[in-house]
Structure 1
Amino acid sequence: MTTSGTERFNELFSELEDCDEDGQKRTIKEMDRPMDDMDEKEFKSVFTIELFNKILKMIEDKKLSMENVLLLLKRVGYYCVLKNMRSLRFEKSSLNKRFEQMIIAENKKMDEKDEKLLVDLCECYISLNISFKPELLLMCMPYLMKVALKKEKSEETQKEVDMALLTLRDMGFCLLMQKQYFNEIKEIIKYHHEHRNLSRLAYWCAWKFLIDRLFFDVSVEEVIVNDLHFARETAREIEDLSKYVDWRREKEEERVNETKEEILLMEWLRKLVFFFRSCGMWNEEFAALIESIVRVLRAAKDKHGDFFGKCIYVLYVAIGDKDIKIDCLLKGGAIDAFLEEIHQLTFNQNIVRKSLMFFLDLSEKLKKKTKGEVEEAKRKELKKQLFRMLEEEGYEDVIESLYGFIYFAKEKNDRELSLNISDYNVNV
């Protein structure tokens, strides 16, 4: 009989008290596999307040060294980030209070601070908690950023940099920290462009830190879009990660535990929703990004519903961007993709609604005159091109056939849809 991840982890944990320090290290490293195998429900059933308090008791009884506790909890924190979980109730444990005291005490030392200990404590504290005390964050950030900025070429250094960036992942929403550390994260991303020194997950975490700043400060758009080439890099990551997804499976229910690549691909797509809602700047590189999203959409159709739905949603949100370049949507295949969906015989109300909203926004944007003769000429030419394309596809007939659905949706208080069919059309 196969042992579950939960059972195997508990077996290994129970062995810790009977091992010497080196044996504990080996046992902790063996815990990686069962933690990787656990789903979110199993993970939370194992890492409870009681378990964290038991670990503290083992420290006090000298049955587990602080060095090995930190080794274990850094691995737990890594899987929390990887599996996008931040509700293990660590903050309610006595062990968390001990860590807070240790961080404050070590940071107060004027000389001979143990920076490695501080980094380890801070990584555990941030990766395992949901909320943080401001004074603790102020103490932790300089040490974590110092590690994240390391450039030595060694496997050990890469692991240290990766863990520091994983820990910093959600710090972008802290306004104070953003203002202080935006340039450092920018430097890390630029260095990766030249040397490809980060793991995929660490690279994603660095980007997340920057993108989250858009929530507070749209002035960073220029850096993110044009200096750091967000669209180009995101397209590259989506293309690479999608190669690791099994798109050939026959049925949705055949899905097994998600791979790391699948989890990370979905994280990129989720962050694109936030990006398109927050950023009003596009450049020509976005055509390749749209194309990569459309490729995932088509690969996932009828076989991987969550990816398919997320791609539809990303493109639906993208059309709402105030300064979107419609030619990027056209070149990237987004308009073709939505045309295919409204032609489908299989009626999915959610997809149909998003498709209608997409074309409603497309039509509205093409009606608005642009500044300058050159840009205005481009807009008119694009309208003609889209008009011919939609006419060849019998688009207007399909839209008219959906009037009953539109009327029904309006009756259900869907105010965004228009009952005027001409609003959905692109007219020259």
Structure 2
Amino acid sequence: MDEAIKKMQEMDASYRFLLLYDELGHCTETEQNQKISEMNSTIDEMDSERLLSFFNKSLFDKISMMTGETRTPWEKNVLLLKHLGYRRVLKGCAESKFYFSMLRERFEKKINEEDKKKDERNERLLVDLCECYLLVSCQYSSEIICICVPCILKAALRKEENEETKKEVEMALLSLSHVNQFIKTDEELYFNEIKEIILNHQEHHNLTWLAYQSAWKFLMNRFDFDKRLEGVIVNELHFIRVATNEPVELAMHIDWKRKKEEKGEREEREELALERWLYALAQYFYLFESTNEEYIGLFGCPVQIFRVAKDCRREIGEMCIQALGYASRNRAVKFEHLVKSGAVEAASEWIIQLSSCLNQICLSLMLLKEICWALKKKMKNENDEAKRKDMKRKVSEKMEEEGYEDCLIGFHNCIKSRSPRYMFGNLEECCVYF
């Protein structure tokens, strides 16, 4: 092996990236493409901690200074940054200093300039600029969002089923999913297009796991702002059916016994899609205003995921319990549906399985408390004595079988000393809701 290549491989990944980047402006286009490929490989080597420390203002300022017609062309830097943003999302690095850098201002100016060219604009460059802007930042200009959303949706509407197109569509939808719920987005910018993308996948299954979930995440973030979307989400796009089955199917597809650091990019994308499905469920459980028998299956979705993931991935188990906790605090919920879904057993198992993680135990106790108190209130208004006794017996048996009463008493004093935000009160009453 060439000595120079060997030394390059032995260097720290972030240092190697910067060294290659310094050479980028002095290369031919072919050499630039080769170096960008090498830099992308160094990014892939970084774990989440290294990537987070690398993703800083000085990096973006450096790239800003090196970007220009006589230095490194926009097209090359955008491709490089888009891959960096993509890896940031896969690794779950939420923080980004891009918004506070000189590069952010240049990006916004460049996006505006390309958009104003209309017939003469470089469509591919504009799409890349918009996707990159959304992937590397955590804060967005609402004016730029009005350009980015329709531009990226147009790219995401491509229906060819070859692998290259699937990857491009996945990147487009992934970037859109980061337009958060705090940014108001007018319906005319996205509504018909995102419906078409979701419905087309339901018919033809043309999207990857992550692309399909990203389309839903973008729409659910709009639901956060506009509750009128519930009718469309449930009745036209069949959210209850999709969210009951899709996350569970995905969870069954994942190899949970394989260590996280051993997983490849495909597996990282699948786990990210699952985590985001659980977040979407939590959003929906918190916001929805209607209910029917189908919700037993919907509440059962995080219960099933909890069962397959809890032993290997505690963070997934916690997300499942959190999602059910949001459901327990929604006034539209029929609590007998939540009980039938298996939520009581899941919360009880979580308490017994954990020995030291008080925050996660508190999540389970909060869920059980909400269910018990709601059922207690319901029973006070229940005229049918036989039904009242039957419900009392079923819930009591579930809690006693899992040792809930013993766990509750054991943790009671510890929990009372926690932050006031838990507000448990006399928790022993949860077991004696009747």
Instruction: Tell me, in whole angstroms, the C-alpha distance in 1 between the residues paired with 2:181 and 2:66.
Output: 35
Mark the CA change 1:239 to 1:27 in structure 2 (over 3 Å): closer, same or farther.
farther
Which is worse superposed, 40-49 or 72-81?
40-49
Counterpart of 1:419 in structure 2 is: 426
Q: Secondary structure at the match of 1:98?
A: helix
**Are 2:261 and 1:256 aligned?**
yes
**Are 2:210 and 1:204 aligned?**
no
Match of 1:190 among 186, 195, 199: 199
8 Å Cα contact 1:17/1:64 also seen in 2: yes
Task: Give the deviation of 1:178 after TM superposition.
Answer: 4.5
Instruction: Tell me, in whole angstroms, the C-alpha distance in 2 between the residues paired with 1:9 and 1:382.
Output: 67
Mark the CA change 1:341 to 1:2 in structure 2 (over 3 Å): closer, same or farther.
same
8 Å Cα contact 2:194/2:215 also seen in 1: yes
Cα deviation digits, residues 257-297 of structure 1 (max 9, x gap): 77333333223223333332222334444433433422332
8 Å Cα contact 1:82/1:260 also seen in 2: yes
Instruction: Tell me, in whole angstroms, the C-alpha distance in 2 between the residues paired with 1:124 and 1:189.
Output: 23
**Paired residues, number:** 418
Cα deviation digits, residues 158-177 of structure 1 (max 9, x gap): 33322222221132525541
**Are 2:170 and 1:162 aligned?**
yes
Counterpart of 1:69 in structure 2 is: 77
Instruction: Tell me, in whole angstroms, the C-alpha distance in 2 between the residues paired with 1:200 and 1:157.
Output: 15
Mark the CA change 1:49 to 1:360 in structure 2 (over 3 Å): closer, same or farther.
closer
Task: Give the deviation of 1:234 after TM superposition.
Answer: 2.9
Counterpart of 2:275 in structure 1 is: 266
Counterpart of 1:40 in structure 2 is: 48
Counterpart of 2:394 in structure 1 is: 388
**Are 2:297 and 1:291 aligned?**
no
Counterpart of 2:31 in structure 1 is: 23
Task: Give the deviation of 1:246 after TM superposition.
Answer: 4.6
Counterpart of 2:226 in structure 1 is: 217
Instruction: Tell me, in whole angstroms, the C-alpha distance in 2 between the residues paired with 1:66 and 1:396.
Output: 60
Mark the CA change 1:283 to 1:47 in structure 2 (over 3 Å): closer, same or farther.
same
Counterpart of 1:124 in structure 2 is: 132
Counterpart of 2:91 in structure 1 is: 83
Mark the CA change 1:303 to 1:283 in structure 2 (over 3 Å): closer, same or farther.
same
Mark the CA change 1:299 to 1:64 in structure 2 (over 3 Å): closer, same or farther.
same
Instruction: Tell me, in whole angstroms, the C-alpha distance in 1 between the residues paired with 2:103 and 2:213.
Output: 30
Instruction: Tell me, in whole angstroms, the C-alpha distance in 2 between the residues paired with 1:237 and 1:43.
Output: 30
- State the AA in 2 paired with 1:321: N
Counterpart of 1:277 in structure 2 is: 286
Task: Give the deviation of 1:77 after TM superposition.
Answer: 2.6
Which is worse superposed, 324-333 or 134-143?
324-333
Task: Give the deviation of 1:422 after TM superposition.
Answer: 4.9
Instruction: Tell me, in whole angstroms, the C-alpha distance in 1 between the residues paired with 2:393 and 2:279.
Output: 32
8 Å Cα contact 2:210/2:272 also seen in 1: no
**RMSD after superposition:** 3.7
Mark the CA change 1:421 to 1:177 in structure 2 (over 3 Å): closer, same or farther.
same
Mark the CA change 1:396 to 1:196 in structure 2 (over 3 Å): closer, same or farther.
closer
- State the AA in 2 paired with 1:366: L
- State the AA in 2 paired with 1:213: R
Instruction: Tell me, in whole angstroms, the C-alpha distance in 1 between the residues paired with 2:385 and 2:196.
Output: 37
Mark the CA change 1:354 to 1:237 in structure 2 (over 3 Å): closer, same or farther.
same
- State the AA in 1 paired with 2:107: F
8 Å Cα contact 1:204/1:268 also seen in 2: yes
- State the AA in 1 paired with 2:343: A
**Are 2:151 and 1:143 aligned?**
yes
8 Å Cα contact 2:217/2:276 also seen in 1: no
Instruction: Tell me, in whole angstroms, the C-alpha distance in 2 between the residues paired with 1:312 and 1:346.
Output: 16
Instruction: Tell me, in whole angstroms, the C-alpha distance in 2 between the residues paired with 1:247 and 1:56.
Output: 41
Mark the CA change 1:8 to 1:222 in structure 2 (over 3 Å): closer, same or farther.
same
- State the AA in 2 paired with 1:21: E
Mark the CA change 1:400 to 1:152 in structure 2 (over 3 Å): closer, same or farther.
closer
8 Å Cα contact 2:201/2:207 also seen in 1: yes
Mark the CA change 1:236 to 1:96 in structure 2 (over 3 Å): closer, same or farther.
same
Q: Secondary structure at the match of 1:34?
A: helix
8 Å Cα contact 1:47/1:88 also seen in 2: yes
Task: Give the deviation of 1:119 after TM superposition.
Answer: 1.7
Q: Secondary structure at the match of 2:167?
A: helix
**Amino-acid identity (%):** 38
Task: Give the deviation of 1:21 after TM superposition.
Answer: 0.9
Instruction: Tell me, in whole angstroms, the C-alpha distance in 2 between the residues paired with 1:88 and 1:408.
Output: 37
Instruction: Tell me, in whole angstroms, the C-alpha distance in 1 between the residues paired with 2:391 and 2:54.
Output: 58
Q: Secondary structure at the match of 1:177?
A: coil
Counterpart of 1:373 in structure 2 is: none
Which segments of 5 or more consecutive residues in structure 2 lack a partner in the other structure? 1-8
Instruction: Tell me, in whole angstroms, the C-alpha distance in 2 between the residues paired with 1:414 and 1:49.
Output: 35
Q: Mapping of 1:300-379 within 5 angstroms?
A: 300-341=309-350, 346=355, 349-367=358-376
